[in-house]
Structure 1
Amino acid sequence: MKQKKIVIIGAGIVGCSTAYYLSKMGQQNITVIEQGPLFETGGSTSHAPGLVFQLSFSKVLTTLASQTVETFKDLSAEGQPSFYSVGSLEIATTPERLEDLKRKAGVGASWGIEALILSPEECAKKCSLINPDNICGGLYVPSDGVAKPLRAIDKMANFTKSLGAKFYGHTEVTGIDIVDGQVKAVETSAGRFEADLIICCAGFWGPRIGEMAGVTIPLQPMAHQYVFTNDLQELADETEEATAPLIRQQDDAIYFRQVFNRLGIGSYQHRPLPVELSEITKYGEAKEMPSVKPFTPEDFEKPWHDALKLIPALKQTGMKKGINGIFSFTPDGMPLLGESQKVRGFWVAEAIWVTHSAGVGKAMAEWIVNGAPNLDLELCDINRFDTYAQSPTYFKKRSIEQYEKVYDIHHPFMPPETSRDMRVSPYYMRQKTLGAYFSERSGWEQPQWYEANDSLVAKYEKHILKREGWAAQYWSPVIEAEQLHTRQYAGLYDMTATKKRLEISGEGALEFLQKLTTSNIDIPVGHVTDTLMLHELAGIKDRIRVIRTAASTFFVLCTGAVEASWINKQLQASSRVLIQDLTAGICSLGVIGSKTKEIMQPFVSESFTSEGWVLGKAKELFIENVPVLAVYDSYFGTEGWELFTTFDQGLLLWDLLIEAGRPHQLIAAGDRALENLRIESLSSRSGKDFWSEHDPYEVGLYHMVDLNKPAFIGKDTLLVRKAKGPKLLLTTLVLDDPSMVVMGYEPVFHTGKTVGFVTSAGYAYSLGKGVVYALLLPEVVKEGNVLSIEYFGQRHRAKILAQSVVVSQ
Structure 2
Amino acid sequence: MTSAPQSDSPKVVVIGAGIVGCSLADELTARGLHDVTVLEQGPLPAPGGSTSHAPGLVFQTNPSRTLTAFARYTVEKFSALEADGRSCFTPVGGLELATTPGRWADLHRKAGWAASWGVRGELVTPARCKELWPLVDESMILGGFHTPNDGLAHAVPAALAQLRRAQGRGARFLDRHTVTGIEQQDGRVTAVVTDRGTFPATHVVSAAGFWGPVIGRMAGVEVPLLPLAHQYARTGPLPELAAANGPRIEASKPILRFQDRDLYFREHNDRLGIGSYAHRPLPVDPFAVLPYDEARARDLDMPSSFPFTEEDWAPSWEDARSLMPALRDAAVDDGFNGVFSFTPDGMPVLGESRALRGFWLAEAVWVTHSAGVARAVAESIVDGHASLDLHECDVHRFEEAQRSPAYVHDRGAQQFIEVYDVLHPLQPMEQPRPLRVSPFHARQQELGAYFLEGGGWERPHWYEANAPLVGENSESTKVPARDAWSARYWSPVVAAEARATRERVALYDMTPLRRLEVTGPGAPAFLQHMTTNNVAKKPGAVTYTLLLDEKGGVRSDLTVARLAPERFQVGANSPADQVWLERHAPDDVHIRDITSGTCCIGVWGPLARALVQPLTRDDFSHEAFGYFRAKETYIGHVPVTALRVSYVGELGWELYTTADLGLRLWDTLWAAGQELGVVAAGRSAFNSLRLEKGYRAWGVDMTEEHSPYEAGLGFAVRLDRGDFLGRAALEQLPPVARRLTPLLLDDPAAVVLGKEPVYVGGVPSGYVTSAAYGYTLGRCVAYAWLPPLPAGTDVEVEYFGEKVPATVAEEPLFDPKMTRIRR
TM-score over 0.5 (shorter chain): yes
Does 2:584 align with 1:570?
A: yes
Residue 739 of structure 1 corresponds to: 749
Q: Distance in 2 between matches of 1:505 and 1:755?
A: 45
Per the TM alignment, residue 129 of structure 1 is displaced from its structure 2 partner at its CA by 1.6
Per the TM alignment, residue 87 of structure 1 is displaced from its structure 2 partner at its CA by 0.4
Give the one of 684, 690, 693 matched to 2:702: 690
CA RMSD across the alignment: 1.6
Residue 552 of structure 2 corresponds to: 538
Q: Given that residues 83 and 158 in structure 2 are in contact (C-alpha distance below 8 angstroms), is that contact kept between their aligned partners in structure 1?
A: no
Give the one of 246, 250, 274 matched to 2:259: 250
Give the one of 656, 659, 663 matched to 1:644: 656
Q: Distance in 2 between matches of 1:665 and 1:513?
A: 41
Give the one of 334, 338, 345 matched to 1:325: 338
Give the one of 322, 340, 352 matched to 2:353: 340
User: Within 5 Å, which residues of 2 pair with 1:195-274?
Assistant: 195-237=201-243, 238-239=245-246, 240-274=249-283
Q: Distance in 1 between matches of 2:706 and 2:527?
A: 21
Q: Distance in 2 between matches of 1:774 and 1:804?
A: 15
Residue 684 of structure 2 corresponds to: 672
Per the TM alignment, residue 466 of structure 1 is displaced from its structure 2 partner at its CA by 2.8
> 1:19-44: per-residue Cα shift (whole Å, max 9, x none)?
11011111111111111111201100
Does 2:401 align with 1:388?
A: yes
Residue 811 of structure 2 corresponds to: 803
The one-letter amino acid of 2:809's match is L
Does 2:324 align with 1:316?
A: no
Does 2:499 align with 1:487?
A: no
Does 2:792 align with 1:784?
A: yes
Residue 726 of structure 2 corresponds to: 714
Residue 469 of structure 1 corresponds to: 484
Per the TM alignment, residue 611 of structure 1 is displaced from its structure 2 partner at its CA by 4.0
Q: Normalized against structure 1, the TM-score is what?
A: 0.97
Does 2:628 align with 1:622?
A: no
Q: Given that residues 735 and 799 in structure 1 are in contact (C-alpha distance below 8 angstroms), is that contact kept between their aligned partners in structure 2?
A: yes
Does 2:171 align with 1:160?
A: no
Distance 1:149 1:460, change over 3 A: farther
Per the TM alignment, residue 686 of structure 1 is displaced from its structure 2 partner at its CA by 1.2
Q: Distance in 1 between matches of 2:622 and 2:745?
A: 39
The one-letter amino acid of 1:18's match is L
The one-letter amino acid of 1:13's match is I
Task: Tell me the secondary structure at the aligned position of residue 360 of structure 2.
Answer: strand
Q: Distance in 1 between matches of 2:620 and 2:812?
A: 29
The one-letter amino acid of 2:741's match is T
Q: Given that residues 460 and 484 in structure 1 are in contact (C-alpha distance below 8 angstroms), is that contact kept between their aligned partners in structure 2?
A: no
Does 2:35 align with 1:29?
A: yes
Residue 532 of structure 2 corresponds to: 518
Per the TM alignment, residue 454 of structure 1 is displaced from its structure 2 partner at its CA by 1.6
Task: Tell me the secondary structure at the aligned position of residue 313 of structure 2.
Answer: helix
Q: Given that residues 122 and 145 in structure 2 are in contact (C-alpha distance below 8 angstroms), is that contact kept between their aligned partners in structure 1?
A: yes
The one-letter amino acid of 1:92's match is A
Residue 4 of structure 2 corresponds to: none
Task: Tell me the secondary structure at the aligned position of residue 700 of structure 2.
Answer: coil
Q: Distance in 2 between matches of 1:47 and 1:522?
A: 57
Residue 155 of structure 2 corresponds to: 149
Task: Tell me the secondary structure at the aligned position of residue 396 of structure 2.
Answer: helix
Q: Distance in 2 between matches of 1:709 and 1:261?
A: 70
Residue 381 of structure 2 corresponds to: 368
Q: Distance in 2 between matches of 1:323 and 1:459?
A: 62
Residue 445 of structure 1 corresponds to: 458
Task: Tell me the secondary structure at the aligned position of residue 526 of structure 1.
Answer: coil
Per the TM alignment, residue 58 of structure 1 is displaced from its structure 2 partner at its CA by 1.0
Q: Distance in 1 between matches of 2:310 and 2:264?
A: 17
Q: Normalized against structure 2, the TM-score is what?
A: 0.96
Q: Distance in 2 between matches of 1:180 and 1:205?
A: 26
The one-letter amino acid of 2:632's match is E
Does 2:567 align with 1:553?
A: yes
Q: Given that residues 731 and 805 in structure 1 are in contact (C-alpha distance below 8 angstroms), is that contact kept between their aligned partners in structure 2?
A: no
Give the one of 57, 62, 75 matched to 1:69: 75
Q: Distance in 1 between matches of 2:101 and 2:399?
A: 39
Q: Distance in 1 between matches of 2:55 and 2:453?
A: 34
Per the TM alignment, residue 251 of structure 1 is displaced from its structure 2 partner at its CA by 0.4
Q: Distance in 1 between matches of 2:809 and 2:49?
A: 53
> 1:35-77: per-residue Cα shift (whole Å, max 9, x none)?
1111201100000100001101111111111111111012136
Residue 771 of structure 1 corresponds to: 781
Residue 609 of structure 2 corresponds to: 597
| Alignment length (residue pairs) | 802
Q: Distance in 2 between matches of 1:259 and 1:100?
A: 29
Q: Given that residues 741 and 783 in structure 2 are in contact (C-alpha distance below 8 angstroms), is that contact kept between their aligned partners in structure 1?
A: yes
In terms of mean alpha carbon deviation, does 450-459 or 644-653 score higher? 450-459
Q: Distance in 1 between matches of 2:319 and 2:59?
A: 21
Q: Distance in 2 between matches of 1:511 and 1:741?
A: 46
Per the TM alignment, residue 216 of structure 1 is displaced from its structure 2 partner at its CA by 0.8
Does 2:594 align with 1:586?
A: no
Q: Given that residues 683 and 805 in structure 1 are in contact (C-alpha distance below 8 angstroms), is that contact kept between their aligned partners in structure 2?
A: no
Per the TM alignment, residue 610 of structure 1 is displaced from its structure 2 partner at its CA by 5.8
Q: Distance in 2 between matches of 1:406 and 1:726?
A: 38
The one-letter amino acid of 1:521's match is V
Q: Given that residues 266 and 272 in structure 2 are in contact (C-alpha distance below 8 angstroms), is that contact kept between their aligned partners in structure 1?
A: yes
Q: Distance in 2 between matches of 1:614 and 1:709?
A: 23
Task: Tell me the secondary structure at the aligned position of residue 117 of structure 1.
Answer: strand
Distance 1:38 1:805, change over 3 A: farther
The one-letter amino acid of 1:261's match is D
> 1:376-421: per-residue Cα shift (whole Å, max 9, x none)?
0001001111221111111100111111111110101111011222
Per the TM alignment, residue 606 of structure 1 is displaced from its structure 2 partner at its CA by 4.5
Give the one of 413, 416, 424 matched to 1:400: 413
Q: Given that residues 578 and 591 in structure 2 are in contact (C-alpha distance below 8 angstroms), is that contact kept between their aligned partners in structure 1?
A: no
Does 2:296 align with 1:281?
A: no
Q: Given that residues 97 and 251 in structure 1 are in contact (C-alpha distance below 8 angstroms), is that contact kept between their aligned partners in structure 2?
A: yes
Per the TM alignment, residue 190 of structure 1 is displaced from its structure 2 partner at its CA by 0.9
The one-letter amino acid of 1:264's match is G
Task: Tell me the secondary structure at the aligned position of residue 285 of structure 1.
Answer: helix
Task: Tell me the secondary structure at the aligned position of residue 469 of structure 1.
Answer: coil
Give the one of 720, 729, 733 matched to 2:739: 729
Task: Tell me the secondary structure at the aligned position of residue 550 of structure 2.
Answer: coil
Q: Distance in 1 between matches of 2:576 and 2:106?
A: 31
Q: Distance in 2 between matches of 1:634 and 1:421?
A: 28
Task: Tell me the secondary structure at the aligned position of residue 218 of structure 1.
Answer: coil
Task: Tell me the secondary structure at the aligned position of residue 588 of structure 1.
Answer: strand
User: Within 5 Å, which residues of 2 pair with 1:410-425?
Assistant: 410-425=423-438
